[in-house]
Amino acid sequence: MEGIDTYADVFLNGTKILSCNNMFVSYSIDIKQYCRDRNILKIHIKPINNLTDSLASQIPYKLPGGNRVFARKAAMNFGWDFAPDLRAGGIWKPVKVICRNGPSLENVHFIQKQLNADRAKGQFEISLNSDENRKVKIEFVSETAQIEYVNLFDVIPGENKLLVDFEVENPLVWSTNGNGDQNLYDFQIKAICNGTLIGEEQLEIGFRDLKLIQEKDKIGESFYFKLNGKKIFCKGANVVPPEYFAGLATDSTWEALVDRAVDMNMNMLRIWGGGVYPPEAFYTACDKKGILVWQDFMFACAMYPGDSSFLNSVSIEAKQAILKYKNHPSLALWCGNNENIEGWYNWGWQKEFNYSAKDSTQIIADYKLLFEKLLSEQVKKYDPSTMYWPSSPSIGWGRKESMLKGDSHYWGVWWGMEPFDIYKEKVPRFMSEYGFQSLPTFPSVSEFLSGGNYSFNTPALKNHQKHPTGFETIQKYMDTYYLPGKDFRSKIYLSNILQAKGMHTAISAHRSAMPDCMGSLIWQLNDCWPGISWSLFDYYGREKAAYYQVKSDFNQVIVASELNDRKLSVKVVSDSTNSFMADLTISLIDFDGNIRWADRIGVNVLSGISKVVYDKDLKNLNRLFEENSSMIVVDLSYEGKSLHRNFHCFTTEKNLILKRPSVSMKRIDLPGNISRFEISVNYFAKNVELSINNETGGFTDNYFDMIPDTKYVIDHYSAEPLKPNEGLNIRSLIDTY
Cα separations in angstroms, 357 against 139, 191, 342, 360, 364 = 60, 57, 19, 5, 11
Count of the separate structural domains present in the chain: 5
Residues 597 and 676 placed together within one structural domain of the fold: no
**Helix, strand and coil in the chain, % to nearest 5:** 25, 35, 40
Residues 708 and 722 placed together within one structural domain of the fold: yes
Q: How far apart are CA 185 and CA 193, in angstroms?
A: 26
CA 524 from centre of chain: 6
Spell out a b/e string for 580-603, using b for 16 or more CB atoms within 10 Å of the CB, else e.
Answer: eebbbebbbbbbeeeeeeeeeeeb
Q: Which residues contact 366 (CB under 8 A, 6 or more apart)?
A: 303, 304, 305, 306
Angle between helices 251-263 and 280-289 (to 10 degrees): 30
The closest of 318, 310, 361, 364 to 340, measured between CA atoms, is: 364
Of 504, 533, 553, at which residue does a domain stop?
553
Q: Are 685 and 694 in contact (CB under 8 A)?
A: no
The two beta strands, 234-239 and 230-232, are unpaired
Residues 403 and 256 placed together within one structural domain of the fold: yes
In a domain, 211, yes or no: no
Cα separations in angstroms, 680 against 391, 411, 589, 605, 687 = 50, 39, 16, 30, 14
pLDDT reading at 64 higher than 90: yes
Indicate the pLDDT class of residue 101, thresholds 50, 70 and 90: confident
In a domain, 485, yes or no: no
In a domain, 363, yes or no: yes
Q: How far apart are CA 257 and CA 286, in angstroms?
A: 10
How many other CB atoms sit within 10 Å of the CB of residue 359? 17
Residue 383 confidence (pLDDT) = 96
Q: How many residues does the chain have?
A: 737
**How confident is the model over 279-321, as pLDDT tens digits?**
999 999 999 999 999 999 999 999 999 999 999 999 999 999 9
Q: How far apart are CA 550 and CA 507, in angstroms?
A: 8
Cα separations in angstroms, 730 against 504, 659, 687, 714, 733 = 22, 14, 10, 12, 11
Residues 172 and 255 placed together within one structural domain of the fold: no
- Determine what percent of the chain is predicted with pLDDT higher than 70: 100
Of 147, 170, 205, at which residue does a domain stop?
205
Q: Are 15 and 34 in contact (CB under 8 A)?
A: yes
User: In this predicted structure, which of 14-28, 373-387, 424-438, 696-710 has the lowest mean pLDDT?
Assistant: 696-710
pLDDT reading at 451 higher than 80: no
Residue 565 confidence (pLDDT) = 87
Q: Are 219 and 204 in contact (CB under 8 A)?
A: no
Q: Report, as an integer, the average pLDDT of 37-49.
A: 96
Residues 87 and 108 placed together within one structural domain of the fold: no
Residue 317 confidence (pLDDT) = 98
Give the range of the structural domain holding residue 726, as residue numbers without chain letter.
Answer: 659-737
Indicate the pLDDT class of residue 720, thresholds 50, 70 and 90: confident
Kindly write down the DSSP assignment for every residue of 641-674, as one continuous string.
Answer: EEEEEEEEESS-GGG-------EEEEEEEETTTE
Residues 415 and 523 placed together within one structural domain of the fold: yes
Q: Report, as an integer, the average pLDDT of 330-348.
A: 96
Residues 714 and 598 placed together within one structural domain of the fold: no
Q: How far apart are CA 527 and CA 433, in angstroms?
A: 16
In a domain, 212, yes or no: no
Indicate the pLDDT class of residue 696, thresholds 50, 70 and 90: low
Q: Which residues contact 535 (CB under 8 A, 6 or more apart)?
A: 82, 524, 525, 526, 527, 544
Residue 707 confidence (pLDDT) = 96
Q: How far apart are CA 284 and CA 288, in angstroms?
A: 6
Q: How far apart are CA 56 and CA 648, in angstroms?
A: 55
Residues 549 and 562 placed together within one structural domain of the fold: no
HEC assignment per residue over 191-226:
EEECCEEEEEEEEEECECCEEEECCECCCCECCEEE
Indicate the pLDDT class of residue 457, thresholds 50, 70 and 90: confident
E-assigned strand segments in 342-386: none
Q: Which residues contact 623 (CB under 8 A, 6 or more apart)?
A: none
- Determine what percent of the chain is predicted with pLDDT higher than 90: 92
Residues 684 and 630 placed together within one structural domain of the fold: no
Residues 193 and 312 placed together within one structural domain of the fold: no
In a domain, 502, yes or no: no
In a domain, 513, yes or no: no
In a domain, 454, yes or no: no
Q: Report, as an integer, the average pLDDT of 76-98.
A: 95
> What amino acid is encoded at 196 in this protein?
T
**Which CATH number characterizes residue 325's domain?**
3.20.20.80
Q: How far apart are CA 353 and CA 331, in angstroms?
A: 38
Indicate the pLDDT class of residue 210, thresholds 50, 70 and 90: very high
**How confident is the model over 240-285, as pLDDT tens digits?**
999 999 999 999 999 999 999 999 999 999 999 999 999 999 999 9
**Which CATH number characterizes residue 562's domain?**
2.60.40.10
Residues 41 and 167 placed together within one structural domain of the fold: no
**How confident is the model over 412-448, as pLDDT tens digits?**
999 999 999 999 999 999 999 999 999 999 999 999 8
Residues 239 and 329 placed together within one structural domain of the fold: yes
In a domain, 351, yes or no: yes
Q: How far apart are CA 267 and CA 511, in angstroms?
A: 14
Q: Which residues contact 308 (CB under 8 A, 6 or more apart)?
A: none
Residue 645 forms beta bridges with which residues? 635
CA 590 from centre of chain: 39
Residue 146 forms beta bridges with which residues? none
**How confident is the model over 124-176, as pLDDT tens digits?**
999 999 989 999 999 999 999 999 999 999 999 999 999 999 999 999 999 99
Residue 455 confidence (pLDDT) = 86
